[in-house]
Amino acid sequence: MAESASIQKLLDELERLPGVGPKSAQRIAFWLLNADTVTARRLADAIIEVKQTVHFCNTCFNYAEADECSICADPTRDHTTICVVEEPRDVTAIERTGEFSGVYHVLGGVISPMDGIGPEQLHVRELMSRLSDDAVKEVILATNPNVEGETTAVYLARMIKPLNVTVTRLASGLPVGGDLEYADEVTLGRAIEARRAM
């Protein structure tokens, strides 16, 4: 390989991205070399801007540009229903279905003793304090339908039920062992519609 040093550096950085192997990295690098400077600059700026402006919502821990994310700050959303998810990408997946008008709570992961992650490492305490003010009527547990997700859901259900809040789980219909992020809109929408009491 006789790539110039700066092309090699770009290839190295591109190959770190998820789903980008050596061939795709090369395709993207040559595309960028071919593109006009403004286009390349816009991508670089978008990367820098997103890191500078995006933080976590103080309420639900979704990504946000202000103290609160756009969903928590929206008065037309149903603030009495909280959908608990593992990661911000799951918020995106559920929003895409258009079936949910409540608000979210992002745990930042799942309970996984193998990886040394217990409830203390997740935003569980903050969820409980959101539930302490009596306004919340229902919590939908939308963790992934796999072992860790189910464990986390069972744990949370046990914590929340004594507070007299309805606890529901996404309906089965999601392929077990799969990943919520990759479910298609219809399946995920139906799963929200047919959520079952726990």
DSSP element (H, E) containing 53: helix 37-53
27 binds a copy of itself (CB under 8 A): yes
CB atoms within 10 A of CB 58: 13
Cα 106 versus chain centre, distance: 7
Which of these ranges, 67-75, 139-147, 153-161, 188-196, lies near a copy of itself under the rule CB under 8 A? Answer: 67-75
Site string for a copy of itself, 148-177 (x = CB under 8 A): ------------------------------
95 binds a copy of itself (CB under 8 A): yes
Name which of 100 and 155 has its Cβ closer to a copy of itself: 100
- Output the smallest distance, CB 166 to a copy of itself, in A: 24
185 binds a copy of itself (CB under 8 A): no
- Residue 161 structure tokens: 């039920």
3-class secondary-structure state, position 166:
strand
CB within 8 A of 180, min separation 6: which ones? 85, 86, 90, 93, 142, 143, 144, 145, 174, 188
196 binds a copy of itself (CB under 8 A): no
Which of these ranges, 15-23, 114-122, 133-141, 149-157, lies near a copy of itself under the rule CB under 8 A? Answer: 15-23
Asked whether the CA dihedral 198, 169, 101, 64 is positive or negative, the reply is: positive
- The count of residues interacting with a copy of itself (CB under 8 A) is 57
Q: Tell me how far apart the alpha carbons of residues 125 and 122 are, in angstroms, rounded to a whole number.
A: 8
Contact by Cβ (8 Å): 167, 197: yes
**List of residues contacting a copy of itself (CB under 8 A):** 1-7, 9-10, 12-14, 16-20, 23-24, 26-33, 37, 39-51, 53-54, 63-65, 69-71, 87-89, 91-92, 95-96, 182
